[in-house]
């Protein structure tokens, strides 16, 4: 009996000793990853750094498990706030793919021809704009339309990020199926086990569906989760990384009243100052996974 107990204890010690180097290696890898991201963030221009307190890039990218060498599809990269962080952080072995809205969606905004063409030209130049302006050398970069991703991207991406990009897709989904198609394309482009990260302006669950359809920038968290699950993704977790309790919109409000846009009130008016004090919107931060089987 004593010999059996000693052997069990010895086996436990051996197992613990064998595990220590692995744990140490994992800690070392995580530390290196954190330091690499910190270096990229520290090198960004001040206009990008000014939004860190509201957009929490360290916590957000860590939650989405974004790593050096990943292939990332970033939907609606726009002027490149997150792109300028992702591209150098992914490194020379990584790949960054911009997934733009289709032209037909932009045409629904009612813009004049000059504004529409300006945005379309910017999107076409996005890969060069990001690579030329990067704080350090990155890897491959390309851009496609999110509702028509090329077949060569089938099962190609490690992560797809929907950062403040879902509301306009949802706004016109009834007539166009934009959300349904974009989520289908994201599912097809992800590797099995790949992650989808969502950051989206969050509507109160008590709001009417008509107000919270995306036309005011806000969507209900329950509706977003349901849409991704219907597309085949598994919901993993929600965190309040980008929550802002000060943002309590009524159905008379739209998200662009808040920073950084501050639209709808005269500058330095009481309403403008109130909205500026609220800060950026209350946002959900959600993680989904494409099942491995």
List, for residues 160-211, the tens digit of each pLDDT value. 999 999 999 999 999 999 999 999 999 999 999 999 999 999 999 999 999 9
Place of tokens 């050096």: 68
Mean pLDDT (the chain, rounded): 92
260 occurs within a structural domain: no
Q: Which domain holds residue 119?
A: 46-245+279-289
The answer, yes or no, to whether residue 62 has pLDDT greater than 60, is yes
- Angle in degrees, CA 270, 283, 271, rounded to 5: 5
* 3-state SS assignment for residue 112: coil
Say if residues 105 and 172 touch (Cβ distance below 8 Å): yes
Residue 58 domain flag? yes
Structure confidence at residue 3 (pLDDT): 43
State the total domains in the chain: 1
Report yes or no on 258 lying in a domain: no
Question: Is residue 28 one of the residues assigned to a domain?
Answer: no
Tell me if 183 sits within 8 A of 231, measured CB to CB. Answer: yes
- Domain presence at residue 197: yes
Residue 31: pLDDT band with limits 50, 70, 90: confident
**What confidence score (pLDDT) does residue 271 get?**
97
Please give the span between the terminal C-alpha atoms of the chain, in angstroms, as a whole number: 46
User: Which domain CATH number covers 213?
Assistant: 3.40.50.150
The CA-based dihedral angle spanning residues 9, 11, 17, 23, taken in that order and rounded to the nearest 10 degrees: -100
Tell me if 202 is assigned to some domain.
yes
CA trace torsion 172, 177, 179, 183 (10° rounding): -170
**Model confidence, pTM:** 0.89
């Amino acid at each position: 009996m004593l010999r059996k107990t000693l052997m069990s204890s010895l086996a436990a010690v051996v197992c613990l000793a064998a595990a220590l180097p692995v744990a140490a290696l994992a800690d070392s890898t995580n530390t290196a990853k954190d330091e690499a991201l910190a270096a990229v963030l520290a090198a960004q221009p001040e206009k990008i750094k000014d939004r860190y307190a509201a957009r929490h890039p360290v916590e957000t990218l860590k939650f989405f498990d974004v790593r050096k060498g990943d292939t990332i599809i970033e939907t609606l990269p726009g002027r490149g706030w997150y792109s300028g962080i992702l591209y150098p952080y992914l490194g020379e072995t990584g790949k960054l793919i911009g997934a733009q809205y289709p032209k037909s969606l932009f045409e629904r905004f009612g813009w004049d021809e000059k504004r529409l063409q300006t945005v379309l030209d910017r999107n076409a130049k996005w890969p060069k704009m990001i690579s030329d302006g990067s704080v350090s050398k990155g890897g491959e970069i390309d851009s496609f339309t999110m509702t028509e991703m090329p077949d060569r991207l089938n099962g190609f991406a490690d992560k797809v990020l929907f950062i403040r990009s879902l509301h306009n897709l949802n706004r016109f989904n009834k007539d166009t199926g934009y959300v349904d198609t974009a989520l289908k394309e994201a599912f097809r482009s992800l590797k099995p086990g790949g992650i989808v990260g969502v950051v989206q302006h969050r509507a109160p669950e008590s709001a009417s569906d008509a107000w919270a359809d995306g036309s005011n920038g806000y969507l209900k968290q329950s509706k977003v989760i349901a849409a991704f699950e219907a597309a085949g993704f598994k919901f993993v977790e929600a965190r309040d990384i980008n929550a802002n309790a000060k943002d309590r919109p009524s159905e008379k409000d739209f998200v662009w009243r808040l920073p950084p846009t501050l639209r709808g009130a005269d500058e330095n008016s009481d309403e403008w100052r109130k909205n500026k004090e609220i800060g950026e919107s209350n946002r959900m931060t959600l993680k989904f996974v494409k099942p491995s089987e």
